[in-house]
Structure 1
Amino acid sequence: MSLTAAASGFVVVLLSAQVIQGQDDWGVTYSSTEICALKGSTVEISCTYTYPSRIDGGDTEVKETFWFTKLSGNQSVDLSTDSDYQGRVEYSCYEKSCTLRITDLRESDSAEYKFSFITNQPGGRYTGSPGVTLRVTDLQVDVGRSSYYDRRDLKCHSSCRLPDRSSYIWYKSGEKIQSLTSSTHSVSDTYGDSYSCAVKGHEDFPSPQVCVKGQTCNRVIYTDRSICASKGSSVDISCTYSSFNIIKSKFWFSPERSHQWQSPSRPEDLSKDSQFAGRVQVLETETRRSTLRITDLTESDSAQYRFKFNTTSFEWRSSLPGTTLTVTALQVQVTRTTVHQSDTEAELKCHSSCSPAGRLSYVWFKNGQKVTGVETSSFKGRVYPGDIISCALKGHENYGSPSVYAPKLPSVSVSPSAEIVEGSSVTLTCSSDANPAANYTWYKKNGDPDLQPLSKEPQLVFSSFQSSDSGEYYCTAEKELGRRTSEYISINVTYAPKLPSVSVSPSAEIVEGSSVTLTCSSDANPAANYTWYKENEDSPKASGQIFTITDFRAEHSGNYYCEAQNRRGRHNSTLQLIVVAATWKLPVALSTTAVLLVFIFLLVLFCIRRVRSSQHPSEAEERPDNRAQQREELHYGSVRFTRTQADALYSNFSPARPHRNEEESVVYASSNFIRASGTNHQAAMEDPSALYSRVIKSPRV
């Protein structure tokens, strides 16, 4: 960042060439080396700086930055602690840049300003030298002879080069001259009149008034354009005045009090104002110098004050600015702390944003008691939880500073305070009585020793609070003098039941007559009530999270589902459980019977074949080779039992195939059929009691 200058008054940068002061990676960069500014204005001076990131393996860290113009011994005097600049200096530093801001410039502020920074490295201190030269000056009116013998030529100028095409304002005996914008002005060479000028847009910074002829003319010159004072103190506001005529009356007034005047255009004597009764004195310790003294200052005394006089033929009614008074209260600033387990070792400073008027004595108070032996603006000591510390100017103890103290136990509130519904907006607020004001941090209790903060603001806001956000929250309030932790606040959100889940026990095959337990569960707050239903039945089967059927029968088979309900809503399970009883007594009995029937059938078939064989002996004898082959052929009969819902039994006879992947219910039987000899073939065919079975031979594998 380059050096810049800006002002509420008028500033001119005279030399803006970039200048870098540094060596071995240490340096300060100034973009301008000279600045000229008008008295009473504000100036900003900025710079950038560099340093090695690491030295001898250690990281470099900047510990302190400041600006200075003076040395005390071999030490630089920080401008922020210099009494000549108190209340008028402000630093604004960010990363590797720093800006100095000086308000209400005085001619005594003209100096060379240097920037310095200190690091954690041994010998790690650097100052940018040379620095920036600031010159503070007034506008001036030069009176010169005119080509006309009875006139004078006036010129408004400054030792700072003014911008081209600037417009000017001229004043005659305090009153503005209309329609005059040139830097020069020709006037009559007469006694009594005074002239002043200002740059348009900066009327608060006019030049001193000058007499055109002689040194006695109508004019008022204020000693200070602005004064800052502490609440409870006293202030002197002075001016010098003169007139070509004899002055008949004079007094001080404040334009801000015009609402109290009988006529807004007729100023009234401040000493007669009830607000200042007993607190105002007008002193004249020397000729043509008037001093307004106001005692026991209050913040309401902050205003502009002007001086007015009347002569037999002239009334000073100046539109020029007078002296602006700013009254501020004392403040206790915490400058340094060392935190211990039970207390804090602190260094405090009693200060005001105003510059002190001379050397002042202070009084310190701790828990309402005066601290003896300390009359400086600084106080060092141990501060315990609950301690209250303040300061005041000696002799003005009734106008003490606000007290400073560590944060009190934080209180936590939640909005809305009524029941919190899922999806709604929720705001948690942490507050603690503390001065300086505390910094807040929010946490959620989760057992993690390295808790991550949820927020570093007084409020923790949830735009849509979810069930997962439920829990215990707490906050901390922390400042230089201590740290306190709030109590836990439990946030419990209500919501309708989530999708229920259903489970069955036992999870294996359910045997008729056994006990079956169905369980329904759903995430809900408040806890859900459960109701069990069976498909196609209107009335509920049971209520409660667990539904138990102690003696399960075939009629209990079917689809079951549960409903979870609370005051926020209801939800049915989408999983429908199909429960079917697998009986074992009937299949075993049927299997035994089937085997017996097959055995009887095969026995009968064997007998028939024997009879047939005996009736055809010749045929068997004629084919002896085939008989041996037939004896070796095996024939299989298969029986399959299938049970329907009606428990019907079916028999199915078919030739068995030689595969081994048949169902477990298949029963195999084998028979050897031998054709018998005999002649009774015809008789056997005509026997009505004969049982026939057609057996299809299976080829060998």
Structure 2
Amino acid sequence: MSVTAAASGLVVLLLTVTVVQCENGWDVSYTSTEICARQRINSGHYLTDPEYSGRVENLCGNNTCTLRISNLRESDSAVYKFRFTTNQPTGSFTGSAGVTLSVTDLHVKVRGSVKLDSYNRAELWCQSSCRLPDHLNYVWYKNQQKTEEGEYYSDDFHPADRVSCAVKGLEDFRSPSILMRSQIGWDVSYTSTEICAFRGSTVDINSTYRYRSRWNNHETTVQETLWFIKESNGIPVDLRTDPEYSGRVENLCGNNKCTLRISNLRESDSAVYKFRFTTTPPNFSVNGSAGVTLSVTAPQLQVHVRRSTAYPSSTWTELTCHSRCQLPVHLSYVWYNNNKPVGRKKYFHLRHFDAEDRYHCAIEGQERFPSPTLYYPSDAPKPPSVSVSPSGEIMEGSSVTLTCSSDANPAANYTWYKISGDKQVQRLSEETQFVLSSIRASDSGEYYCTAENELGRSSANISITVTYAPKPPSVSVSPSGEIMEGSSVTLTCSSDANPAANYTWYKEDEDSPTASGQIFTITNITAEHCGKYQCEAQNTHGRSYTTLHLTVGAGKSVIIMNIIRLTLVVLLVPVLVWTLWTRRKKTLSLKSEVNEAVEMMEVRDSEARRMTPYHCFISPC
């Protein structure tokens, strides 16, 4: 197989096979069975697969066939096999082994065999997680500027330099850049990234920084160190110049360590504090990017108990004054037994713990924030009591607080859980209270809390039912399909509601309800039942509506009558027309005969008059 593709930002990959005829038949061979390439985007499979649409070609000829895949994706990683079919009875052949394609990513690595010298020279390697073709050439970028070509890159690096690589010809698809500072030893770290303190106290925030002792054969010196929480025009503002901290901050620096001490703490001092140092040569500044989050709050103390496990009969007990967040290490603690001071250490050891003893601790100077009282630790936490607030009916959208408390010694740790419908347990909170700020219907269910200390564990549950107005109802019609006149139809209305909804049916243009109940049945339906029907679902929290349009078709009897009427019309009309025509014809014929007779009589009379002689009569005198 010939591979004419690259690794970084690979766009085109060629998988080539050769078809040969062996002694015992036909065969398929691959130039290579494993190829590694670099992804460009995501997702993919093959020729007829829409994910490969426009990205694959078959280039075949002279018993050689090449699969070209362009715009490679990570999910194109697969085993590709070639198959051909002949006109011989032996049929089709597939290259059984196939070619394994791995689409991977490039990254820059500092070669382990080459150490950084006094000039901070490093040799970098453009590497992939799998073996790439040997003939590939690489392009290197330093601070987004192209520098040189080659698989390896050696240069003098500034701590702020960023370096990446790409395959030549595919420079648009570079490896992720690396920051040389972390490669050549320039950095800032913090002892803790979260610290709790309380108003009026003093806190120490510690950092450690590192840098190369020599740069370009010159000794490197630290010119400036500072702590800051904000910047002005991109330049960190030294806390020592901030009037809000005037007289309350110190920088205690030495041996590559620097501590910020803030005294007389205020609640407004809660912020993220970062350390910065500047060196020369080079003239370069390094910020601790993560910083330390300081919270000025009450200490929230608890007493932890550790008892001897080496000897079961031993009554030795160690008490620890503990806070949920890290407190300054220089603090002093005060222990009390039955409200009387008995010690001033963070750890308090007891040979005997009597049933009448009551211990608690506080931070010296902050006695107004004591820990809960510790009683004789002989039992696991009692079954906790759980409550819900507000009590009574829980409306959807309201805020609900679940509270868990137990008589436990030492103080119990609480965890809230919910049991879902499939009996899966969901962990919700590790506080004594769990708040549902805007409760939903889906929040209904079983909740339980556990109270646990080193002596045991107990639990209790509570059921939550959320009430809500009816959701828009759904209406079904039975039987479905066309509703014929004379048949019966049933309308069913249902709505998700708690408490359960009451249902009322209305017909358009009618003031009074047509029916009540979830099911509405119409028997012997007629055309008068056509129209819009509205189902109303209502409970104590509200109501909701859905409208249905009912259409009624003609029944069988009506259709039969219409057919009979049509048949009568079709048959009787011609008969009537024929009868009328016949009568008219007879009438016309009779008139014609009468006229002819009259005419003949007239003719005969005329002829008689012409044939008779004229006589004159003279009267005698």
Q: Could you say which structure has the larger radius of gyration?
A: 1
TM-score normalised per structure 1: 0.33
